[in-house]
Chains A and B, each alone.
Chain A
């Protein structure tokens, strides 16, 4: 009896060690051995274009992801659990616009704001407010606005239109989610971490950074692969034949923003280069892109759960289109 009891005490330890590292080594060796066929496969012209685009999205997103997980780690380790509930208004109708406006302060693109939103929800912030922040940060932060001003030098109203449309989308989606959102749609999360002692804070910080980075970057890889695939397959020429129907144009620009999954700091340059698309179509492109695209759906499904992403992504998509068109009509007083 005693011996039987003593064994399980050491067993979990052994079980924990087997696995990851060995599998990791095996994958590495296999890849090294299969290098030739792999190079051949990726050597075809289409696969070359795909792999360059895929790696480009990964490389481009990494610094912003690092910034995001550093902020997330700092919140986990150094910001007292009560901080956000004290700072944000208790009334969610007020908290959501405040959280949305906070997006002005985070320079970065959309990948970085997902782990931060996840972390502040853990810290007791209402999901609807955290999601409003998550949607607004990539759309209205200063770097994105400057990039938009540079790209649309000949149409300076675009900067303001984008700011208003991005913020409105975030707030409206937040308010709707506040009414319809259900906690069970989100992945169950472990109980909130208790306050940690001072000497353990740096450890919590580093652990969170590592955990969040590998997790979120993993989902980014799915998103990057999807975006690269669509980038290679979607023929951008077809959009030039659509200019005639406003309804189709708007829908097309929204879909294009969804499949191209551009970084919000670059999308203004791409939007500007679309000849034959009226300015409202471009605004829709710039409103939908930072809020929802293939890469973000992968990130959100991984972070908050599939059930969440299945509901949140369509909601955001529709709201962003409507807001984009509405703000555009107000700013330009018509379709042109």
Chain B
């Protein structure tokens, strides 16, 4: 890929990153905290691309002029006295013209050799074209089904699992963690992550004593349950590549197709998450409405 095209691809990538950052689509790929550094990176890429493009074009115009001048000079001399010796002279002159051009831009010359031969830069067109033509949506049910693992949390439960090879889930000791008390009464908004954690580990079973509003999307029934469906949310810590699903189970037929975003008022059924169902607790739903995908489709 030559240097002009490198500049253009750099500008396009910078521009596209600016576009997804401005439109908010970037939250489908990375956590919202990335916003400032995405802006910085896209501005730098566009600036570097534009300036190097202008520089390269101007350089080439100058080079072309120098070559033209040398050719004219050679032609004039050739017209004055034509001979084989002077043919070599022309050649020498040309090289000198080229060389003096290269001198104030030595780096470019070496650099041209360094990278213009590289075909790797072409690969940059893949993310550019994907973002330009078919920008992917946030991860959904497919990812939940694929990456669902046991929802019990690290370390705390590890000893139970490793020592309990002979016993089944029901024989495990229930682990609990301290949670701040909930403000009593009424329905309460809660993130999926907090809801699942409280349901599994709150000794007071606070989530089974009240109504909670959670947001998520419909997923197929999870491993360990024979029927029903689930509401899930993906939790990311940096980008979508590290997404981890959090889900709850609901008995009955799914009222809406998979991947539909809903807000649901639910109450947990206490202590329904166990090893057999990968610690996916069951909830009862009192109301469910479809919503559009939240601005940040992930939790953190």
Contacts and interface: CB of A to CB of B under 8 A. Distances in A.
Interface of A: 1-2, 4-6, 9-10, 13, 16-17, 19-21, 24, 27-28, 31-32, 35, 38-39, 42, 45-46, 48-49, 51-60, 62-63, 66, 70, 76-77, 151, 154-155, 189-191, 193-194, 196-197, 199-200, 203-204, 206-215, 217-219, 221-222, 224-225, 227-228, 231-232, 235-237, 239-240, 243-244, 260-263, 265-267, 269-270, 272-279, 282, 302, 336
23 contacts: A1-B84, A6-B71, A10-B67, A20-B2, A28-B129, A54-B127, A55-B127, A58-B127, A60-B239, A155-B155, A189-B114, A197-B104, A203-B55, A210-B7, A218-B124, A219-B123, A221-B123, A222-B120, A243-B162, A262-B238, A269-B237, A275-B150, A275-B152
B130 interface: yes
A154 B150 CA distance: 20
Given A21-B5, A56-B239, A60-B34, A48 B52 contact: no
Contacts of A336: 159
B130 A54 contact: yes
Given A262-B241, A263-B238, A63 B123 contact: no
A274 B63 CA distance: 60
A72 to B, nearest CB: 12
B242 A270 contact: yes
A49 B142 contact: yes
Given A27-B125, A221-B124, A193 B106 contact: yes
Contact of A9 (B9, B90, B153): B90
B157 interface: yes
Q: Which secondary structure dominates where chain A touches chain B? A: helix
A95 B113 CA distance: 31
Contact of A200 (B45, B104, B140): B104
Contacts of B30: 56, 59-60
Contacts of B204: none
B94 interface: yes
Contacts of B2: 16-17, 19-21
A31 B17 CA distance: 19
Interface of B: 1-10, 13, 17, 20, 26, 28-30, 34, 37-38, 40-41, 44-45, 48-49, 51-52, 55, 63-64, 67, 70-71, 74-75, 78, 82, 84, 86-88, 90-91, 94, 104-108, 110-111, 113-115, 118-127, 129-143, 146-150, 152-155, 157-159, 161-162, 165, 223, 237-242, 244
A218 B13 CA distance: 12
Nearest to A237: B149
A275 B120 contact: no
**Which of A63, A190, A224, A278 has the most C-beta atoms of chain B within 10 angstroms of its own C-beta?**
A63
B123 A275 contact: no
B142 A276 contact: no
Nearest to B127: A58
Given A2-B90, A13-B63, A57 B52 contact: no
Nearest to B63: A13
A76 B115 CA distance: 15
